[in-house]
Structure formats: C-alpha cells, structure tokens
C-alpha cells in the first residue's frame, strides 16, 4: 500500500494554455477530515476563455485520436503522473471517496481496458446503414453519414465512484473537444485521466479540467454545444427538458425472481449485485422483487451481509464504503425515516459504525416490504441497501419501471418481451447476471454516441 502523503497534493486546473493554480483553492479532505489535497477553482472569466479556445481548436484525425486514447490507457494505469504513482492515486481515491481500495484498483484496470476498446465501443453505436465520411464511395448513390451534433462537449462529473470516467473519452474518439468539471468529492480520477490524455498527445485545447464553485458550474455547460451531468433526482428534473444536456441520475436497478426459478441457485449473484463495488453505484441493486414469499430470501441475504467486516477503505479486505461520521449519520437518519413501516433484517437500528478516527462504515441494510409498489423500492442510497418485496403477475410491470438495469430470473419469455418493450427500463439481463455487469460496446443508459451524433443524408456526383 502506498504511504500517505504528508503534504496536500496540488490539483491544478488543466486549461487550454496548460496548468493553472488558482488563488481560490478548496481543501479536499479524506473520510477522517484530514486535508489531503488542494483543488484550484477557476473563475468565470477563465471558464469563458477556455471554452472559446476549445471551439477554436481542431481535432486530430480519427486514427490518431484512437491511438492517443490507447496510449493514455497505459499511462493512466501504470505511469507516475503529476508526480503521483498509480498506488498513491488509488490510495487517495479510496481515502477521500471512502471506496474500498480493492474496488478502486479494479476500476483503474477497467478504465484502462475501456479506453483501449474505445473505437470498438463507438463503432457499435453507429447505425449499420451509415458511413463515417462524406467521401465514402457509397455516398455516390446516397447514404447516411454519421456526423457530430457539435464540437465541444462538457461533463459535470460524478463523485461517488471513479468508474463513470471511462465513458466520456468516447466523445474524444468521435472528435469532440472536451471540458470536464470534476466533483470535489473525487477530483483525482479526471485529473489523472486528462493528464494521461495530454501525455499521450492530445493538445491542451482539446481536453481540459475546469474545477469551479457551484455558482460558476453552469458556465461550463453554457460554453459547450452539448453536455452530460451526473447527479440526483434534482439534477434530472433540472435538465429534463434541455435537449442539449444528457442527465445521468439514480439507477434504481432491480432484480425480479419469478416462482419457477429457485433463488438459492443465484444467491451469490444477488448478494454481489447489492454489495459489489461497495454498493455505491447506480447499477447496484436497489430492490428485489420475488414471486412468492420473500422472507427466506431476506433471511439468506441478512446472513451473508451481516458478516462483512467494518474496515477503513484502504484495507484490502474492506467491502463497505466509508464516510465522515456526520455524513454517515445523515444517511443513517434518512434510511430510518424512509424505512418506516418496513420490516428490518439488517440496519433497523442504524448502519453507521464509527471507526474511531472521525469516519464511519456504512454497513448493509435489508428491509422487507409488504407490497411491490411500496415507495421504498425507489429509494437508492450510496451503500449496500436493498428493499425486498413480493411480486405477482397481477402487479405487472409498474413496480419494475424506471430501472437502469433489471436482472430478471425467469423462464417466462413473454414476460421478457414485455420488459424489453417497457421504455423506462434501460437494460434487461435475463438469468444469472449481476446488475452491475458492463462491457465495452454495450450501452449503459443508451450509447453516449446516440446523444453526441446524428445521421445526415449525403449524395454526391
């Protein structure tokens, strides 16, 4: 394990002219409240000038872009960047975000793997009947050409997990110039990734990091042609009607087990879907619906999850996330409020277990509901927290709607057909598949390229 730094790391803005250390800097603290970094916050005028530079910049040829992203994958996952080794980076992400170190290490490898396959991913998103160049021989008789909807893409990044940073580099592969506003909760991953991309050959005016205060944040979006924003339900509501903004909100992922399937054969998958990745992601299971009596499943889940250890996040054996005590107590109070009327199997007396250094482990919570349409099935919290409810065919699809991922364990092909046709369910995994399963070339909440690109008809002499 990397030794902790004795002095705060300096996370400078990465502007179109290079690095920039602002006078306005904010402390980044770990889960125990210890300052581990200073993050430069850029003023509105800096944002405005940088975004104009991105618009003026040119993009490299597509083959060169793909090659640079592949080189960046190696730098990101192996090199010392900004004077910081991979091990030091992973330690800081774990200590600040409270994510188990084993998960951070796995995500480092996963981001690099996705970068190496970026061309594969964007090509899977391209409509089969389209071509990528107007001078393709097929356009002589008329053909759809896949073209960008703009030139500059802005990202308000997530802070709950480093994994989402594997997605936005697809926009670079498509020829966009990109501005990332990092979360103060986890600025290390975008800073390291953009440093790697620049080290691999991208110009300063092609990909930038713009940390800002909340008042300046929207200036990054206003300066771009298109944007993607991560956040809670409030973010989804704010940008729902903005055609130029792609909101990424709660996942409310679920598992459905019908009566002809024995859930005991799939208990490992169910437990991992709840607790894998620290239980922090939008693809972790929020609710399990069971045809029949859910009590035996609740009992089995409680037996498995009650035994997970309470450890600091940098311990390789850690499973659950860790937060400052005040934050953990806030989540605990919210859980207990939302769980009113539900039967607790785990977490009924609270989930915040203090470690004695100002931080607390967010331990698993399991609650049993008496009906499939109980409002708790939509309550997503950033730790292993699951609501288990009975389901019947008469209840239909209503309790399953608004799911980023639905794993359905069934032999009923007609039910699967109906689930695929339901617009509010983004992904359907049939059988023994964890809700957090993702692969390059597969859509997450649709393909990002669906939002960034469009088809234009082209015919030429």
Q: Determine the Cα–Cα distance for residues 136 and 130; give it in Å rounded to an integer.
A: 10
DSSP string, 394-436: TTTTGGG-SEEEEEEE-S-HHHHHHHHH-TTEEEEEESS--TT
Give the three-state DSSP class for 123: helix
Strands of 322-324's sheet, edge to edge?
322-324, 359-362, 352-354
Q: Determine the Cα–Cα distance for residues 66 and 54; give it in Å rounded to an integer.
A: 19
Residues of the chain with CATH 3.40.309.10: 253-430
Q: Determine the Cα–Cα distance for residues 100 and 317; give it in Å rounded to an integer.
A: 8
DSSP string, 135-178: TSGGGGG-EEEEEES-SEEEEE--SS-SGGGGTTHHHHHTT-EE
Chain mean pLDDT for the chain: 95
pLDDT attached to residue 5: 55
Supply the Cα-derived Rg of the chain in whole angstroms.
Answer: 23
Q: What is the DSSP letter of 33?
A: S
Alpha-carbon distance values, 180 to 78, 206, 254, 428, 448 (Å):
22, 11, 30, 30, 16
Q: Which among 283, 208, 334 has a CA at the least distance from the CA of 445?
A: 283
Give the three-state DSSP class for 180: strand
Q: What is the per-residue pLDDT across 403-431, written as a single tens digit (0 to 9) for each?
A: 999 999 999 999 999 999 999 999 999 99
Please tell me the pTM assigned to this model: 0.94
Q: Which of 55-69, 166-180, 229-243 has the lowest mean pLDDT?
A: 229-243
Output phi, psi for 151, to 5 deg. -120, -25
Give the three-state DSSP class for 82: coil
Question: What percentage of the chain exceeds 70 in pLDDT?
Answer: 99
Mean per-residue pLDDT, 109-133: 95
Q: What is the per-residue pLDDT across 142-191, written as a single tens digit (0 to 9) for each?
A: 999 999 999 999 999 988 899 999 999 999 999 999 999 999 989 999 99
pLDDT confidence of 235, banded at 50, 70, 90? confident
pLDDT attached to residue 90: 97
Mean per-residue pLDDT, 361-380: 97
Residue 309: half-sphere exposure toward Cβ, Cα within 13 Å: 8
Residues of the chain with CATH 3.40.605.10: 9-249
Is the pLDDT confidence value at 2 over 70? no
pLDDT attached to residue 243: 92
pLDDT attached to residue 6: 65
Among 2.30.40.10, 3.40.50.2000, 3.40.605.10, 3.40.50.10610, name the CATH number for the domain at 9-249. Answer: 3.40.605.10
Q: Is the dihedral of CA 431, 432, 434, 439 positive or negative?
A: negative
Give the tokens for residue 79. Answer: 């090199």
Mean per-residue pLDDT, 284-303: 97
Q: Determine the Cα–Cα distance for residues 280 and 382; give it in Å rounded to an integer.
A: 4
pLDDT attached to residue 236: 85
Q: Which among 159, 171, 166 has a CA at the least distance from the CA of 106?
A: 166
Can you tell me which residue has the tokens 């277990």? Answer: 353
Q: Hey, what CATH topology would domain 253-430 get?
A: Aldehyde Dehydrogenase; Chain A, domain 2 (3.40.309)
Q: Determine the Cα–Cα distance for residues 409 and 396; give it in Å rounded to an integer.
A: 15
């Amino acid at each position: 394990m990397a030794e902790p730094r004795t002095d705060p790391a300096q996370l400078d803005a990465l502007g179109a002219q290079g690095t920039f250390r602002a006078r306005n800097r904010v402390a980044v603290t770990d889960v125990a409240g210890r300052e581990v970094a200073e993050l430069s916050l850029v003023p509105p005028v800096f944002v405005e000038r940088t975004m104009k530079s991105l618009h003026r910049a040119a993009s490299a040829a597509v083959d060169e872009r793909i090659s640079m992203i592949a080189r960046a994958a190696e730098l990101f996952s192996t090199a010392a960047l900004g004077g910081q080794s991979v091990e030091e980076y992973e330690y800081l992400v774990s200590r600040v975000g409270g994510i188990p170190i084993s998960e951070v290490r796995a995500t480092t490898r996963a981001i690099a793997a996705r970068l190496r396959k970026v061309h594969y991913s964007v090509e899977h998103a391209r409509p089969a009947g389209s071509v990528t160049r107007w001078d393709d021989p097929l356009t002589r008789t008329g053909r759809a050409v896949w073209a960008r909807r703009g030139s500059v893409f802005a990202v308000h990044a997530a802070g709950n997990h480093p994994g989402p940073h594997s997605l936005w580099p697809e926009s670079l592969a498509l020829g966009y110039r990109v501005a990332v506003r990092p979360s103060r909760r986890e600025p290390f991953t975008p800073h390291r990734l953009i440093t790697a991309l620049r080290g691999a050959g991208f110009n300063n005016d092609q990909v930038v990091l713009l940390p800002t205060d909340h008042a300046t944040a929207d200036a990054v979006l206003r300066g771009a042609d298109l944007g993607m924003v991560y956040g809670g339900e409030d973010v989804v509501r704010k940008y729902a009607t903005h055609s130029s903004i792609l909101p990424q909100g709660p996942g409310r992922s679920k598992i459905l087990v019908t009566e002809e399937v024995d859930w005991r054969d799939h208990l490992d998958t169910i437990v991992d879907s709840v607790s894998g990745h620290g239980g922090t992601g939008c693809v972790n299971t929020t609710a399990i619906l069971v045809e029949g009596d859910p009590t035996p499943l609740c009992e089995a889940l409680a037996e498995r999850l009650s035994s997970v250890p309470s450890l600091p996040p940098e311990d390789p054996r850690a499973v659950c996330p860790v937060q400052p005590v005040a934050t953990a107590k806030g989540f605990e109070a919210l859980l207990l409020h939302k769980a009113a009327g539900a039967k607790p199997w785990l977490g009924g007396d609270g989930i915040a277990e203090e470690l004695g250094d100002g931080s607390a482990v967010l331990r698993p919570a399991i609650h049993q509901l008496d009906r499939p349409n109980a409002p708790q099935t939509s309550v997503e919290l950033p730790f292993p927290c699951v609501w288990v409810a009975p389901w019947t065919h008469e209840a239909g699809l209503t309790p399953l709607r608004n799911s980023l991922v639905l794993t359905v364990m069934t032999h009923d092909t007609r039910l699967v057909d109906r689930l695929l046709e339901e617009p509010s369910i983004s992904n359907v995994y049939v059988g023994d598949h964890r809700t957090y399963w993702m692969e390059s070339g597969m859509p997450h909440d649709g393909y990002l390229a669906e939002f960034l690109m469009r088809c234009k008809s082209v015919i030429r002499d």
